[in-house]
Structure 1
Amino acid sequence: MPASAHGSTPSGPPEFDPLIMTALFDAQSFAALDGLRRRYFPPALNRVPAHATLFHHLPGESLRAVVERLREVCAGTGPLEFTMAEARSLGRGVALAIDCPPLIRLRAGLATAFADRLTAQDRQGYRPHATVQNKVSGEEARATLRAVEALLPIAGRIEGLALWHYRGGPWEEAGRFPFTG
């Protein structure tokens, strides 16, 4: 998969769009999570489907190396079982905590492999979650928290990883990497 530049400056090297890495949910749990996101996320701000982010900003110029590493890791990994039994307040939104120790270990291994490429945000501790609401009033978020808690637990599988180009709006898919191990 070739790296492509989104823009360039006349006097410098091309500027590459950052990469975002997310977990791929099985179809049933994705449908449940995306349904919650469509119901509770402000429509004008809901630019991407339900997801759990592993890395928020990998350098786009490293696309080839990231893809090679993902292919290797995903070929040796089988589907990961998870549960979501806790809804967390984000103050002005709600997220569902993902309980999946194997995902945390997989992400830690990738973080070690990409250590020299990580932003400060991606070097912080990893607490996997799926955001179903953000940027609403505190009152609306508290009501959503109560409503979503009544739907828990949600269980499913993470079946692979996805890589996305961030170009300022909706994400553009850069690849899907199913777990085949």
Structure 2
Amino acid sequence: MQPLIITLRLDAATEAILTALRTRYFPRQLNHLSSHITFFHALPGTSQHLISHQLQHVTSTMTAFTVQVSSPFAMGRKGVALNVVSSDLSSLHKQLLDAWKTEKIELTSQDDNAKKRAHVTVQNKVGEEVARKTLGEMKAQWEPKMATAEGLRLWRYEQGGEWTLLEDFLFQDRNLARQ
């Protein structure tokens, strides 16, 4: 089974701004996605039911919260990302990480990182010179923005690099607002 990915869902206005940046800077032939903040990169597909159940539980007990999309930084030598900062975000990540460990869900070393640096990837898999230029542009133009975290999304990674959205889990107050 293909691995599962969990991302943070932001408000539509912020997602549109970030997706426009990704569209501008990410290599077109590799860009299969809109902007996203990946929470977990490769959870086992065989645990989908358990993962869905936990995401439903967590989001039904939380309300939307604010994150700051802040300073750009170099992702190694071949990409650029924007920091995403929020104590609520860190707490949510820890809560899910603890749940996966309790349920004995097999985690990759990338996902088993309690000190995860939340970010939005604007550019990746380009040459060093292109990445340096993009970072310079982003540092000169980007102003930190506040955004609303509205929920979590569960995706399946497909062969070829595309993702399929499986479920959207809205935080409690976002679910109530949509009813």
Same-fold status (TM-score > 0.5): yes
2:106 maps to 1:114 = no
Q: CA RMSD in A?
A: 1.0
Gaps of 5+ in 2: 174-179
**1:133-144 pair list within 5 angstroms:** 133-144=123-134
Q: Aligned partners of 1:41 and 1:120: how far apart in 2?
A: 25
2:66 maps to 1:73 = no
Q: Indicate the larger mover: 34-43 or 141-150.
A: 141-150
Q: Which residue of 1 aligns with 2:177?
A: none
2:8 maps to 1:23 = yes
Q: Aligned partners of 2:134 and 2:64: how far apart in 1?
A: 30
2:166 maps to 1:174 = yes
Q: Which amino acid aligns with 1:157?
A: T
**What's the TM-score once normalised by structure 2's chain length?**
0.89
Alpha-carbon offset, residue 34 of structure 1: 0.3
Q: Aligned partners of 2:90 and 2:72: how far apart in 1?
A: 18
Q: Aligned partners of 2:127 and 2:3: how far apart in 1?
A: 30
Q: Which amino acid aligns with 1:53?
A: T
Query: How many residues in Structure 1 have an aligned counterpart in Structure 2?
Result: 166
From 152, 173, 179, the equivalent of 1:161 is 152
| Cα deviation code 1:111-144 (max 9, x no counterpart) | 0000122112111231100000011111111111
2:50 maps to 1:50 = no
| Cα deviation code 1:136-178 (max 9, x no counterpart) | 1111111111222222212211100000011122100110000
Q: Aligned partners of 1:93 and 1:152: how far apart in 2?
A: 19
Q: Aligned partners of 1:174 and 1:151: how far apart in 2?
A: 32
2:92 maps to 1:92 = no
| Cα deviation code 1:75-111 (max 9, x no counterpart) | 1111120112211101111000001110111010100
Determine what percentage of the aligned residue pairs are the same residue: 37
Gaps of 5+ in 1: 1-15
Q: Which amino acid aligns with 1:96?
A: L
Q: Indicate the larger mover: 171-180 or 110-119.
A: 110-119
Q: Which residue of 2 aligns with 1:130?
A: 120
| Cα deviation code 1:23-73 (max 9, x no counterpart) | 001001100100000000000011111100000011111111111111110
Q: Indicate the larger mover: 19-28 or 113-122.
A: 113-122
The answer on whether the counterparts of 2:71 and 2:142 sit within 8 Å (CA) in structure 1 is no
> Highest CA radius of gyration, 1 or 2?
1
